Amino acid sequence: MKKQIILMSLLLGLTFGACEDNKEQYLDQYSTITYFRNSGVDELTLYKTGVDTDYSIIINKAGSNLNTATSVNMLVMNEIELNYYNNRNSTNYEILPTDCYQINGETALNFEPGETSKKVGVVFKTNTIDELMTAHLNQEYVLPLQLVESADSINSQKKMLLIQPKVLIPTISFRKKGMEEIVYGGDGTDVFTYSYIVGMSLKNQWTFDCTIDIDEEALEAYNEKNGTDYELLSKDVYEMPTTLTFVPGANDIQLNVKIDYSKLICGTYALPFKLLSVSNANFVVDETPCILGIIYKAPRVDLTVDMLYCNRPQSGSEGNLANLLDDNVKTYFHSSYNAVDRIFDHYLQIDLKEPVRAFQYSYTTRDSSGNGNPIGTVVKVSEDGVNFIEVAHITQGLPTDKAAEYLSPILKSDTPVRYIRLENDGALNGRPYFVFSEFSFYGK
């Protein structure tokens, strides 16, 4: 981050060179004016890799006649000059010792006609600076530079450059972290590859490895925090390298995660992984995990009326199960509301013909009234249509409004099942019946 600290134009003539005399107010009288392109305080990040850091200082020439030659000197401030700066700007900078840097090239700069910029190189001694800052943790060091003694004019607001080095240990990290959720609908393609970028913030000059590991604790923490129930992917479902190799010139590298959906049933899964270690001792890894979340949606089952059964249907048109499959919310199916059938055992049963291990169902409530909306559903499954096992008791998230849609969570069975029974646990009005206008089923 660059912080521009602007000084007032009137500085001590002896301290900072009495070469402007507010000439910027009368630039039309002067053919050239020089200044630092990155004037002010420039925070420079030095990465602790055992390699020194190069920095380029740019001095520009502007003015009414760029075809005029000019000259200017670039000098390091002395303690008196920097103290004056600190007092004016409420800072407490110290001059970076000379063994911490090396200025390459001439500092007496001569601009030829038509020449608009000069570059001066500085090499910062990263290890020496790190030792200095480690020994003086509360001190801020800068390389304070100023432009003086111009043959023409110097911009008084841009004549100072204070380079403030900060030493950091370079970090290898995923460019994108946290949860990435993928929805898979079983569209015929079984194998998908998902890519993640691992990189660094500096130009890579080394060959080294990073290791990757599964982070089960991250998934547990995510589920607990978000109220989710992602299941950890088993090892036979995915392929992911455990080592990535960086080579010189490669700042980023791609991690590919291959998922074979043919080995999954419908449900919600996740693969949590993180960077574990790096073989280059000058680097560290960011262990913030990535989580590949998978929502495997069950394909829709094409229901027909003969696949549906209700043990207590209402007589007449209200008890017509075909109303559940006609894509018309104005029609509905009503289980019996006769006094003789006011027993809490009403259910809707689906014969899937083909067994499934995971499934969802959805329904739309009646368009004209919400009285028959279920307040609870006991979901049972069976292989033979005789012996049923409870797999869920749903009481949360059920709609209370008219013409409202509901989609159940993905439910699973340990063994393939053909029959699904939805036992009504009561309606909003306290009666045992239920009313749906539409019904759909999804399973695999």
Q: Which amino acid does the sequence have at 274?
A: K
Within 10 angstroms of residue 72's Cβ, the number of other Cβ atoms is 27
Per-residue model confidence as pLDDT tens digits over 366-411 = 999 888 999 999 999 999 999 999 999 999 999 999 999 999 988 9
Q: List the structure tokens of 6.
A: 């602007």
Residue 318's Cβ-side half-sphere holds a number of Cα atoms within 13 Å equal to: 14
* DSSP secondary structure letter of residue 426: -
- Do residues 335 and 314 make contact, with C-beta atoms less than 8 angstroms apart? yes
Residue 25's Cβ-side half-sphere holds a number of Cα atoms within 13 Å equal to: 5
> Sign of torsion, CA 3 7 9 15?
negative
**Regions of the chain where pLDDT drops below 70:** 1-30, 187-188
Per-residue model confidence as pLDDT tens digits over 16-62 = 333 344 434 444 455 789 999 999 999 999 998 888 999 999 999 99
Give CA–CA dist 336/424, Å, rounded: 12
Closest to 93 (Cα-Cα) out of 71, 117, 72, 77 = 77
* DSSP secondary structure letter of residue 408: P
* DSSP secondary structure letter of residue 206: -
Q: List the structure tokens of 376.
A: 């609870």
pLDDT at 275: 97
- Do residues 373 and 399 make contact, with C-beta atoms less than 8 angstroms apart? yes
Closest to 15 (Cα-Cα) out of 104, 80, 107 = 80
Q: Which amino acid does the sequence have at 235?
A: K
Within 10 angstroms of residue 47's Cβ, the number of other Cβ atoms is 20
Question: Beta strand pairing status for 171-174 and 53-62?
Answer: unpaired
pLDDT at 385: 95
* DSSP secondary structure letter of residue 53: E
pLDDT at 96: 97
Give CA–CA dist 376/398, Å, rounded: 8
pLDDT at 429: 86
Closest to 68 (Cα-Cα) out of 116, 123, 26 = 116
C-alpha to C-alpha distances, 309 to 83, 320, 335, nearest whole angstrom: 90, 10, 11
Give CA–CA dist 331/437, Å, rounded: 6
Torsion of CA 36, 40, 42, 43, to 10 degrees: 170
Within 136-268, where are the H helices?
216-226
Q: List the structure tokens of 175.
A: 């460019």
Give CA–CA dist 357/263, Å, rounded: 13
Q: What is the number of H-type helices and E-type strands within the chain?
A: 4, 32
Contacts of 291 (CB under 8 A, 6+ apart): 178, 179, 180, 218, 219, 222, 230, 270, 271, 272, 273
Q: List the structure tokens of 40.
A: 């002010």
Q: List the structure tokens of 430.
A: 């306290």
What is the DSSP annotation of 293-311? EEEEPPPEE---GGGEEES
Q: Per DSSP, what are the bridge partners of residue 136? A: none
